[in-house]
Structure 1
Amino acid sequence: MTNRRELLRLLAASAPAVAGIGLWPSTLLAQAEGAGLIAANVCHLTPELTEGPFYMDPHLVRSDIREDRGGVPMTMRMQVVTADCRPIKGARVDLWHCDAQGNYSGFANQGSRSTRGETFLRGTQISGDGGEVAFQTIFPGWYRGRTTHIHFKVILGRDEALTGQIFFPDSLSQYVFENASQYGRSAEQDTTNADDWIAIEAGEGAYASVSDRSDGYDASLVVAVDYASDHAAYETPHPQRELMRA
């Protein structure tokens, strides 16, 4: 039976081709599942990436973050684990991304419109025993200068443990943008994964594993954070309770 250390070595040696979708050997997928992982795309600590200009904390603990945004439905599952792939309970995960037309909620001066005061495609979840969270959302759109991506933060206790981004195969993004009417634009996407310096810095481990479903996609990512302790549950402050105290 493959132990966690050996599993990590095998995953590191078998990074998928990022042009495809979930291109992992079936044996490794089975071993990852047997180790309690929701995906096989973890081989080292997840790199810290730029937060970007559109983060805010609306104190919205919810799994469905779509609100009124149209687009291809997608469930984004994330699993927060230690460097040796042990799930972390009680991790707070904030997730946010742009809509099908490339707009973020909560900010003015985005092309032709302002979204100030809006909260679409933002939310927070607290991980359970398996370190997992899940967000009901849409496949993200694009905006000039960036490839398709989703932002996230992992907060352990009162400390921010990681800020990162999630990426998708270019072939999938192109298919969605060309075939789903909500993503129709007068311009074409100007940046791909190979041209985006943040995606290049993040590496293969930041690409979601994606599978089809009847009405859209299921995406999964394992996020490994630097957590040296006895694996006890974190006492992560609840965002809504913290807001009430403020």
Structure 2
Amino acid sequence: MTDNHDRGLQFDLATLIGRRRALSLLGGAGLTLVACAPPTTTGATSTTTDPATTTGTSSTAEGTPLDAIPEETAGPYPGDGSNGPNALTQSGIVRSDIRSSFGSSTRTAEGVGLTIDLTVRKEDGTPYAGAAVYLWHCDINGDYSMYSDRVKNENFLRGVQESDSAGELRFVSVFPGAYAGRWPHIHFEVYPSLTEATKAGNKIVTSQLALPENTCKEVYGTTGYTQSVRNLTRTPLKQDMVFRDGVDHQMAAMSGSTAAGYTASLTFAVES
């Protein structure tokens, strides 16, 4: 398959237009939005807590009612069988550390370390225990494994985890690059159980997590992210086709440093 993000953006746009038309028809009622390890590169060593995340829901108290996170496009590279290859049915997809490929390849993705901590809740604020999250994102070059020419034979930066009794789960990854036309982001799908996820059936929701600007700038100043510096400036967050309608509840809370790695945290609700 040709590595063509322009085609991917057209695909995304068509999906988003349909979603936003539905929001317009409903008047937006009841559809308020609810809010990307060990180091692999060197760079600045200052620890940061990004102020752009202060309106997120990473610390929402358990039992506090939440609106369900909005449905977003999976894009053209989901790897869930809906658009070509299916990683979900492959042995090895259930894993916390998604930095390396599994199966016939063991190549490891490069980049600044990123731990992704997610907390899944029901709309009444109670933990969603036993939910399964399939998470994927692009690599340091903006390429998606299983699709983009340079990494078509890889399946890294994809994985499934099951939430514990508190609705919590974790992925260990690398910070994704910024490619032309999109703000830095991470895709994920939520399934009611691990069984449903690994057969790619009965998905609850598909959504995206946004990464804060200050952290992106810090990461993109390190080795390997040169093209991301340019791409980040070309598509501001407020102009991004997915996040331009607001990210108050999709923006990750961020802590860490380029040397020690970062942690992105997000608490969100799904329809119950």
TM-score normalised by L of structure 1: 0.73
The answer to whether the 8 A contact 1:43-1:205 is kept is: no
Bigger Cα displacement from structure 2, 65-74 vs 199-208: 199-208
1:23 aligns with 2:68: no
Is 1:181 matched with 2:218? no
2: distance between equivalents of 1:77 and 1:187? Answer: 25
Q: Any residues of structure 2 matched to 1:69-218 within 5 Å, and which?
A: 69-108=109-148, 113-157=149-193, 158=196, 159-177=202-220, 179-185=221-227, 188-189=230-231, 190-201=234-245, 203-212=247-256, 215-218=260-263
**Which secondary structure does the structure 2 equivalent of 1:136 belong to?**
strand
The 8 Å contact of residues 178 and 228 in structure 2, kept in 1 or not, is answered as: no
Q: 1:21, 1:211 within 8 Å by CA — same for their partners in 2?
A: no
**AA matched with 1:22:** T
The AA in structure 2 aligned to 1:180 is T
Map of 1:232 onto structure 2: none
Deviation, structure 1 residue 139: 1.2
Structure 1 match to 2:96: 63
Deviations 1:89-135 (A, max 9, x none): 11110000001110110014xxxx43222101000001111111100
Counterpart amino acid of 1:175? E
Q: Pick closer, same or farther for the CA change 1:143–1:123 going to 2, 3 Å.
A: same
What is the one-letter code of the residue matched to 2:204?
A: A
RMSD, aligned α-carbons: 2.6
Q: Which amino acid aligns with 1:65?
A: I
Q: CA deviation at 1:85?
A: 1.2
Deviation at 1:187, TM superposition (A): 7.0
Question: 8 Å contact 1:89–1:128 — kept in the other structure?
Answer: yes
CA contact (8 A) 1:170 1:192 kept: no
Indicate conservation of the 8 Å contact 2:114/2:264, yes or no. Answer: yes
Asked if structure 2 preserves the Cα contact closer than 8 Å seen for 1:44 and 1:83, the reply is: yes
**Helix, strand or coil: the match of 1:185?**
helix
How far apart are the structure 2 equivalents of 1:132 and 1:29? 11
Shift of 1:184: 1.9
Q: Report how far residue 186 of structure 1 moved.
A: 8.6
Letter in 2 for 1:226: E
SS of the equivalent of 1:143 reads coil
CA contact (8 A) 1:47 1:202 kept: no
Mind listing any 5+ residue stretches in structure 2 that lack a counterpart? 1-31, 36-49, 81-86, 101-107, 197-201
8 Å CA contact 2:178–2:184 kept in 1: the answer is yes
Distance 1:194 1:22 in 2: 15
Superposed displacement of residue 201, structure 1: 3.2
Deviation at 1:153, TM superposition (A): 0.2
Kept in 2, the 8 Å contact 1:105–1:115? The answer is: yes
Residue equivalent to 1:240? none
186 and 143 in structure 1: CA distance in 2 versus 1, 3 angstrom threshold: closer
1:36–1:130: 8 Å Cα contact kept in structure 2?
Answer: no
Aligned AA for 1:103? D
Matching residue's letter, 2:230: E
Aligned residue pairs total: 198
Gaps of 5+ in 1: 1-11, 228-246
**2: CA distance between counterparts of 1:186 and 1:226?**
35
The aligned residue for residue 51 of structure 1 is: 74
